[in-house]
Structure 1
Amino acid sequence: MAAFPSIKPNYSVIETYSFNTHIINYGNKVEQRIKMNSAAQTIFRLRWEALSNADKATIQAFFVARGGAFESFAWTNPVDNVAYTVRFKEDAMNAEYFSYQLWNLQEIEFIEVSG
């Protein structure tokens, strides 16, 4: 399994915990709820600001090699140094060129998956 490059986000890491609840509405305020996951799924939202051309190209090449959200990979969270198996949440990645040879990558999301 591939490992995400060791380019740590220099701005923020936001963790979101998500469950998948299927709700069936029968009308007249009657509903049934079915828990689809037994555990919360963690979503990590990362931001990099003022990346060099080389670091941006490294992350972009890694994204392309994974086929966007297709393939999972290993990532070590810089906050707690725990390794997670994740994939990109989206099939698109935006890079903003904002100054001479500097890039921002905002709101890249990783979603935890089963190993």
Structure 2
Amino acid sequence: MITEKKLLSHHANGLIFLEICSEEQFIGKEQDALDLLGELYGKCYDGIIMHERNIASSFFDLKTRLAGDVLQKFSNYCVRLAIVGDWSKYPSHSLSAFIMESNRGKIVNFATSIEKAVKLLSRFN
């Protein structure tokens, strides 16, 4: 639950982004994304920032389809999302291409720092 997580806010270009600070993994299946969106419903924010450690490792293996299923929920509800992590540790060319393509868009972005996540999310104001 979000109540067990610390929420930090980041401001840029008149927008507010919530960073979910937790050492725990809380996205392991498609339903977890829906639960997260439900928990954040009604809060004032323009996007969410979460960390790679909060997501099951199977998410980063595109063959499992978990990434597509989870990210589709954010897209369906038009909620901007940035995931912060060290993407160099994943040797998959498919994942690298997926990250590059996602970062061209406005809904889902992958960043290597909080600062870069805020910059990516706030560029479409």
- TM-score bin, normalised by smaller chain: under 0.3
TM-score scaled by length of structure 1: 0.28
Question: What's the TM-score once normalised by structure 2's chain length?
Answer: 0.26
Q: Which has the larger radius of gyration?
A: 1
Larger helix proportion, structure 1 or 2?
A: 2
